Amino acid sequence: MTSTASRIAVVTGASSGIGAATARQLAAAGHRVVLTARRKDRIEALAAELTAAGHSATAYALDVTDRAAVDEFATAFPTLGLLVNNAGGALGLDPVATGDPEDWRRMYETNVLGTLHMTQAMLPALTASGDGTVVVVSSTAGHGTYEGGAGYAAAKHGAHVLAETLRLEIVGTPVRVIEVAPGMVKTDEFALTRFAGDETKAAKVYEGVAEPLTAEDVAETITWAVTRPSHVNIDLLVVRPRAQASNTKVHRER
Ligand code: 8X3
């Protein structure tokens, strides 16, 4: 069995939010982290910060929707301990009747096909390691819907189905599949991206909510799940703030 300390961990969407926090915590837990995202300057800065702190970290600019680029990236890894499929996000909060099909297409490409490309490309290396782990960071939107959320929920349901099906298909191989489904997480970019940079709309998402989850909360959950002994597979972990009882039931202080 490969020890956690020597495991290489590839994290997608590592430039901000849950991805960056996860990379930090995995590095602190002894993984050699490989940060990937489209924004090279961000991941290079984070890799430099982690390296200066005595950890092992490298940055690789990558768009997970670009299959040729993903395949090229994968050639660098004869073996791999951990893949965290975190890249993705929401675009728009429009009803089905008027939602922009282009938003739906982009959400499907990043959240589902991006995860598919990375997982397909890295699976041989994960298997070759003799003790691999695939994490899919889905969402509570992958397990239920809400008004205005159909495009994002459809994509995250897709990511959930990918994780669940892969677990069935590769049972008996030395690779486990873990899905972490976060609810309301307040990060610098999730809501801003969803509302195309509209800060007022983005702020409304968290208005009156005492303590939405932080990226660090979710990163701790992921790090805990992947550092269980190899025979322990955390299939699915749903994590919400205490103030959020369901996708549509949120306590807001007035
Ligand atoms: C984030 C949760 O409620 O914005 O994935 O869909 S929600």
What pLDDT digit, counting tens, does each position of 124-181 carry?
Answer: 999 999 999 999 999 999 999 999 999 999 999 999 999 999 999 999 999 999 999 9
The per-residue pLDDT for 6 is 57
Least confident of 3-17, 36-50, 88-102: 3-17
Of 60, 108, 146, 152, the active-site residue reads 152
pTM (whole model) above 0.75:
yes
The per-residue pLDDT for 254 is 77
Residue 1 has pLDDT above 50, yes or no: no
Tens digits of per-residue pLDDT, 229-247? Answer: 999 999 999 999 999 999 9
Mean pLDDT in the chain? 96
| Residues in contact with 231: Cβ distance below 8 Å, sequence separation at least 6, in sequence order | none
In the annotation, is 152 catalytic? yes
The per-residue pLDDT for 43 is 98
Q: Which of 160, 176, 8 is nearest to 88 (CA)?
A: 160
The rounded Å distance from CA 185 to ligand 1 centre is 8
Long-range contacts of 241-244 (CB under 8 A, 24+ apart): 241/183, 241/184, 241/209, 241/211, 241/212, 241/213, 242/211, 243/184, 243/209, 243/210, 243/211, 243/212, 244/183, 244/184, 244/209, 244/212
Residues with CB under 6 A from ligand 1: 139-141, 149, 152, 182-184, 247
The rounded Å distance from CA 184 to ligand 1 centre is 6
d(CA 115, CA 179): 12
The rounded Å distance from CA 176 to ligand 1 centre is 25
Q: In this structure, are residues 84 and 8 in contact, taking their beta carbons and an 8 Å threshold?
A: no
Tens digits of per-residue pLDDT, 74-114? Answer: 999 999 999 999 999 999 999 999 999 999 999 999 999 99
Cα-based distances in Å from 42 to 33, 46, 48, 137? 15, 6, 10, 20
Determine the residue of 111, 146, 152 to mutate for testing ligand 1's pocket, defined as the one with the most ligand atoms within 8 A of the Cβ atom: 152
| Residue 183 domain boundaries | 3-250
CATH number for position 205:
3.40.50.720
Closest atom of ligand 1 to 138 CA is: 5
Query: How many residues make up the chain in this entry?
Result: 254
Q: In this structure, are residues 153 and 144 in contact, taking their beta carbons and an 8 Å threshold?
A: yes
Q: Which of 110, 48, 93, 70 is nearest to 191 (CA)?
A: 93
Number of domains in the chain: 1
Closest atom of ligand 1 to 153 CA is: 6
The rounded Å distance from CA 95 to ligand 1 centre is 15
Determine the residue of 91, 180, 184 to mutate for testing ligand 1's pocket, defined as the one with the most ligand atoms within 8 A of the Cβ atom: 184
